[in-house]
Amino acid sequence: MADGPALLTAAVGGERRALARLLTGIENQDPAFRELLPRIFAATRGAHLVGVTGPPGAGKSTLVTALTREYRTRGRRVGIVAVDPSSPYTGGAIMGDRIRMMEHAADREVFMRSMASRGELGGIAATTWLVAAALDAAGYDPVLVETVGAGQAELEVARLAETTVVVEVPEMGDEIQAIKAGLLEVADVVVVNKADRPGAERSARQLRAMLAGAGGRFAAPPPILLTVATTGDGIGALVDAIEADRERARSADRALARARNQLLRAVAERSRRRAEARAEWEATVAEIAEHRLDPITAADRLLGK
Ligand SMILES: Nc1nc2c(ncn2[C@@H]2O[C@H](COP(=O)(O)OP(=O)(O)OP(=O)(O)O)[C@@H](O)[C@H]2O)c(=O)[nH]1
Ligand SMILES: [Mg+2]
């Protein structure tokens, strides 16, 4: 990477090709871009960072497209990050996302980025939100991040959003319940999409009961909205709900919780890398396997305590 600062300046100035190159550098965790991170953070303009997550096929991409349309009518420039699902049964989603997003492909005020999740735990969450920060610096607001809420890594991505929209659909099978419960914990707004299908109202009632049963975890239970992403029904109200959450997301306690999560992720990831890079890593692993050393003492030793 020749001139990072110049690239950042160009990206912030609105050059789409510069922005694309910047995002690639961030995504690849290119060491040259490491130095740029403080500048990128300093250049952010306070965009609303919105996560859209939910089970495979719930209509997240269609919903993001519809949200983009609505935000555009409100005069907003929209950044989109789609974290490609790594699970095999959603393998067709990359193509699907591209096709749906073609509606906005010619719109200069919309910037879309697809990211490979590569199944690498820990790295994705941090990288995704750095890409979102770069889109913020380039003047996009909101930045919408789509992830499949299927695994721990994806849940971490959702947790790092300012406002997390959890997308459900009517009449989901029982096997989805576990995912649903895990996802609901990170929801600021809940959407029952595909409300043109039977059972949408009933699903909304069930979700309301689940959220009420969660006890004191929520200051106030998240709103539950019905949408039909394919027709745009309910999308205006959804944008209103997301906008209403923007201020709440910036209250001191939520902002601190989010920052604490970001820092925890970064510390965990960096100490893991540092430990793994030590020459005695493999020998230490063998010592633990042979019960000559316990893992806690080993970790202290590797991290230089
Ligand atoms: N009937 C109906 N179909 C919908 C609605 N929203 C999306 N769909 C359809 O549901 C299918 C999946 O939509 P996607 O937007 O690709 O879903 P997704 O959650 O992004 O899927 P993955 O990224 O693969 O997890 C597509 O065939 C959509 O046309 C809706 O409100 N009603
Ligand atoms: Mg999708």
In a domain, 60, yes or no: yes
- Ligand 1 atom 23: residue of nearest CA: 93
Residue 22 lies in a domain: yes
CB of 147 sitting under 6 A from ligand 1: no
Q: What is the DSSP code (8-state) at residue 168? A: E
Per-residue confidence at 127, pLDDT binned at 50, 70, 90?
A: confident
Residue 188 · residue 164 · CB < 8 Å:
yes
Q: Identify the sign of the CA torsion 217, 221, 226, 229.
A: negative
Evaluate if residue 167 carries a pLDDT over 60: yes
Cβ of residue 25 lying under 6 Å from some atom of ligand 1? no
Are residues 59 and 197 located together in one domain of the fold?
Answer: yes
Distances (CA, A) of 208 to 131, 146, 188, 221, 241: 34, 23, 13, 8, 16
DSSP string, 113-165: EEEE-TT-TTHHHHHHHHHHHHHHHTT-SSEEEEEETTSHHHHHHHHTSSEEE
The CATH number for 130's domain is 3.40.50.300
Give the domain extent around 213: 44-250
Shared domain for 1 and 149, answered yes or no, is: no
pLDDT at 78: 97
Q: Which atom of ligand 1 is nearest to the CA of 55?
A: 25
Q: Which residue, by CA, sits nearest to atom 26 of ligand 1? A: 59
271: tokens are 């100490």
- With vertex at residue 257, the alpha carbon angle to CA 127 and CA 56, rounded to the nearest 5 degrees, is 50
Q: What is the mean pLDDT of residues 284-305?
A: 95
Are 64 and 119 part of one and the same domain?
yes
3-class DSSP state of 28: coil
Has residue 91 been placed in a domain? Answer: yes
Mean pLDDT, residues 174-199 taken together = 81
* Same domain assignment for residues 61 and 117: yes
Distance of CA 84 from the midpoint of ligand 1 (Å): 15
Ligand sitting nearest the alpha carbon of 55: 1
Q: 53, 61, 62: which to mutate for ligand 1, most atoms within 8 A of CB?
A: 62
Q: With a 6 A CB cut-off, is 51 part of the ligand 1 pocket?
A: no
The residues near 302 (Cβ < 8 Å, ≥ 6 apart) are: 274, 275, 278, 280, 281, 284
Q: Residue 119 — pLDDT band, cuts 50, 70, 90?
A: very low
**What's the CA gap between 189 and 52, in Å, rounded?**
10
* Ligand 1 pocket, residue 96 CB under 6 Å: yes
67-86 pLDDT, tens digit each? 999 999 999 999 999 886 54
pLDDT above 60: residue 91: no
Q: Based on the fold, state whether residues 98 and 217 are members of the same structural domain.
A: yes
Encoding tokens for residue 136? 């913020």
Same domain (yes/no): 119, 215? yes
pLDDT of residue 92: 40
Contact 211, 184 (CB under 8 A): yes
Task: State the alpha helices, DSSP H only, in the chain.
Answer: 4-12, 16-27, 31-34, 37-43, 60-73, 93-105, 123-137, 152-159, 177-184, 200-212, 235-249, 252-277, 281-289, 295-302
Identify the pLDDT of residue 29: 80
Q: Give the pLDDT of residue 271.
A: 92
Cα 59 to middle of ligand 1, angstroms: 3
Does residue 258 sit within a domain? no
C-alpha–C-alpha distance, residues 147 and 42, integer Å: 26
Average pLDDT, integer, range 159-169: 91
Bigger pLDDT: 156 or 41? Answer: 41
Q: Give the per-residue pLDDT at 47.
A: 97
pLDDT at 2 exceeding the cut of 80:
no
How would you classify the pairing of strands 143-148 and 49-54? parallel
187 lines ligand 1 (CB under 6 A): no
Q: Of 230, 231, 233, 238, which is best to mutate to test ligand 1, by the most ligand atoms within 8 angstroms of its C-beta?
A: 230
Q: Read off the amino acid at residue 230.
A: T
Nearest ligand atom owner, CA of 228: 1
Q: Angle 198-202-205 (CA atoms, 0-180°, nearest 5)?
A: 150
Q: Does one domain contain both 13 and 56? A: no
User: pLDDT at position 216, please?
Assistant: 56
Say yes or no: 24 and 141 in one domain: no
The answer to whether the pTM exceeds 0.85 is: yes
Q: Is 89's pLDDT higher than 50? A: no
The per-residue pLDDT of the chain, averaged, comes to 85
